[in-house]
Amino acid sequence: MPAFDFTTLFWWGLPLAAAPLVIHLINLLRHRRVPWAAMEFLLASQKKYRSRVLLRQLLLLLLRTVAVAGLVVALAQPRWQAAPGGLFGGGGMHLVLIDDSYSMGDTAASEPGGDRQTAFDRGLEAADAILAGTVGGEAETLAVGLFSELARGELAIPATAVDPATRQQIRDRVGGLPCSWLATKPREPLERAAAVAAAADGSCTLWLISDFRHRDWQDDEAADGLRRLAEGGVGIRLIDTAEPAPSAGNLSLSRLEAVGGVPAVGVRVPIELAIRNDGDSEVRDVRVSLGEDGGSRPGLRIATIPAGGTATARFDARFQTAGDHLVTARLPGDRLAADNDRSCVIDVVDQIEVLLVSDDPAAGSPGSDAFYVANALAPGGAAATGLRPRIVPAASLGAIDLEPYDCLWLLDVERLEATAVAALEQHAAAGGGVVFFTGPRTEATLVNRDLHRAGEGLFPVPLAGSVEILPAAGGDRVPDLVAEDHPVVAVLAGRRNPLLDMVRVERVMAVERTFDEAAAPGLRRLLSLRDGRPLIVEKPFGDGLVAVVLSPAAPIWNNWARGNPSWVVVMLELQNHLARRRRQVASLTVGRELTVPLVPGRDEIEVDFLVPPDAALVRQTALTRPDGDLEARLPTRVPGGYTARWRRADGSEQEKLVAVNVNPEEGLLEPVGREQLDRQLAGIDFRYDTAAGLAPGDSGLAGVPLAMPLLVGLLGVLALEQLAALAASYHPVRPARRSIPRR
């Protein structure tokens, strides 16, 4: 279908094609009949040639009309297009949908030492080419949407009529569109695009500009969105901006978090990071830069990261002040910069309260269960753990506020009241940790009835009663303890550990024989005995964890706590493991809302957010939630550390630090490939192009320019017009020269 760059000129100039006909009619009106004898003779002899002369005159008139019309059409800059937006009617809409997920920041195709052009840059160039070439007149409209904005129902450029006067303005706006830090899948943008296309007046063409990664197109979600568009009559053009880079893999910082320790002032906190290698070759000598609260700290060096694998590394941090602390890690630059940085927040306190519950009248005195557990958690002296144990009787458990305690230790408690059981279950369900030590006071029937409750209660396993552990057959020196694959006992696993060899277990609380450990969801062993019985097991309860040690802490059924350093190590690791779910500060993914809950009457409603990277101040007013409390919200658009500050009614300042990171899965840069894309989109009428193959003059994009062929044809028409004019006019015949003979 023909389209014109200057449609107005075409329509205003087209009537000029009638000028030769008008001139011919005017000349006919000017003729008068004059009788003339000689002419009457000529006219009589011309009758047999009249049809031939009339045809020549009509041909001359037609050629002159075509010449004028051809000149008008050539000046209007015609193009031949297969896409909508042609000569007549509403031309239709061009909806340009640009993927702005952070994987579009891939610079794989950039030349070494040259400008680092990203896939998003190539996408903007393709969008500019589409605008410059495809949209040809006032009858057409253009809308531009980014994945991240269209997923929220917003268009970067709403549907706008395009003409030569506004085209450059729209091109400038498209050229200034930014790439986001989000990981937006195609499904939601395509659903929104379908709504935009349905509201279009006339035909619609969707230009989908993306890097077409395997992770986004391996399922049917995106294909279903395109299929619905095609069924609605929308023309589909896919523009691939990715460039192959087989030799340049991408490293992603996929995780950074505290993995143990007590986040207290002056206490060592181990922090672990994970780096994923998405390339097809091993990467060596990776140096990681680390930061703490805006300053730098000694970095790490990772020797090797296997192809397609992940390497982890740990480092220790000690914080000298209470409060939130921001820890950052950064990888060296590679083809995708967005996933090279990661941050986490460590909430540091002065000390962490630990509640020890015991029925022993001498609890806390040497020889008691509470004494050995308290000394393991807080040995004193130079070995600062940040823990402060508090010993209470079991009878008072139901009346104590358990919120300040991350972990509760119940030491050979004989009986718990119903209120105490309910309080324990509520504490664990909310993310707290609970440890049960069994012993001589433990009543198996009461535990099974009140705490285990056929697997519905807090206690992980049903008990059968205490049993004696017989010596190894033949008097062989076999270790009584076996470390399982669990982070709490990881330091004791592996090769034969002499500290575990020193532990002797004479009696334990046995688990019912009919109990199937494999059928218990989430049940996991930490330590086992040489005869295969479990010694320490754990099981999730709600958002928390519950662990059971099937022997007392005091050295009456075993000698573990009597001067063995491994006892202290395992108890500290167990405390950190169970308390981790409450102490760990979760990070947000870019695009999620940062929320600050407020209490009416206690907190003021204005919250100031300091937004990275330059700590720009954004003030938000809290809104009322359905439960009546207040909540201030801030959408996150970039990664980094966000700070929220607000006042309380008593004038005190409050501050909250939150780490916001990109979704590491977006860093998987494997392309979907044309063959798989064809399979996924089977049955959908679409056209596929690469961004590198597009240009404003490409016949597949802008249409075939017809101005030059028309000018050549116009010259031919003018030549024919001259020949026809010569044939249709009267010319005197020169008499032949007669030669005069010489005399």
Residue 498 to residue 6: CA distance in whole angstroms: 90
Neighbouring-strand partners of residue 468? 507
Which segments within 229-367 are labelled E, that is strand? 235-240, 251-258, 269-277, 283-292, 295-305, 310-317, 323-330, 341-348, 352-358
**Per-residue DSSP letter, 459:** S
pLDDT at position 18, please?
73
Instruction: Note the pTM of the prediction, 2 decimals.
Output: 0.76
pLDDT at position 476, please?
63
Contacts of residues 721-726 at CB distance under 8 Å and 24 or more positions apart, as own/partner, are: 721/60, 721/63, 721/64, 721/67, 724/56, 724/59, 724/60, 724/63, 725/60
697 with 673: CB under 8 angstroms?
no
Which domains are delineated in the chain? 2-79+706-728 (no CATH), 82-244+671-702 (3.40.50.410), 251-349 (2.60.40.10), 352-583 (3.40.50.880), 588-664 (2.60.40.10)
If residue 562 lies in a helix (H) or strand (E), which one and from where to where? none
Q: Count the alpha carbons within 13 Å of 709 in the hemisphere toward its beta carbon.
A: 6
Place of tokens 């680390």: 290
Please compute Rg for the chain using Cα positions: 42
pLDDT at position 698, please?
47
Neighbouring-strand partners of residue 4? 78
597 with 631: CB under 8 angstroms?
yes
Write out the two tokens for 343.
Answer: 């941050």
Q: What is the distance of C-alpha 291 from the center of its chain? A: 25
Write out the two tokens for 298.
Answer: 């000694």
Helices (H) and strands (E) in the chain, counts: 17, 34
pLDDT tens figures, 545-555 = 999 999 999 99
Write out the two tokens for 517.
Answer: 């450990």
pLDDT tens figures, 588-619 = 999 999 999 999 889 999 999 999 999 999 99
Write out the two tokens for 36.
Answer: 């003339």
Angle at 413 between CA 396 and CA 380, to 5 degrees: 80
Count Cβ atoms below 10 Å from residue 607 Cβ, excluding itself: 26
Helices (H), 592-706: 674-680
pLDDT at position 61, please?
74
Place of tokens 């986004």: 216
If residue 597 lies in a helix (H) or strand (E), which one and from where to where? strand 593-598
pLDDT at position 40, please?
65
Mean pLDDT by 10 residues, the chain (743 residues): 60 70 66 63 62 72 75 69 40 87 84 71 90 60 91 88 78 91 93 89 88 90 92 92 71 91 88 92 94 94 94 93 95 93 93 91 88 91 83 90 92 92 94 95 94 94 92 73 89 74 92 93 93 94 95 94 91 89 80 92 94 94 88 95 95 94 93 90 90 59 63 77 70 58 55
Q: Is residue 567 classed as helix, strand or coil in its secondary structure?
A: helix
**CA dist list (Å): 619 to 286, 605, 611, 646:** 40, 10, 10, 10
Q: What is the distance of C-alpha 102 from the center of its chain? A: 7
Residue 410 to residue 436: CA distance in whole angstroms: 5
Place of tokens 């049917």: 220
Length of the chain in terms of residues written: 743
Residue 696 to residue 429: CA distance in whole angstroms: 62
pLDDT at position 62, please?
79
Neighbouring-strand partners of residue 207? 96, 237
588 with 661: CB under 8 angstroms?
yes
Count Cβ atoms below 10 Å from residue 441 Cβ, excluding itself: 16
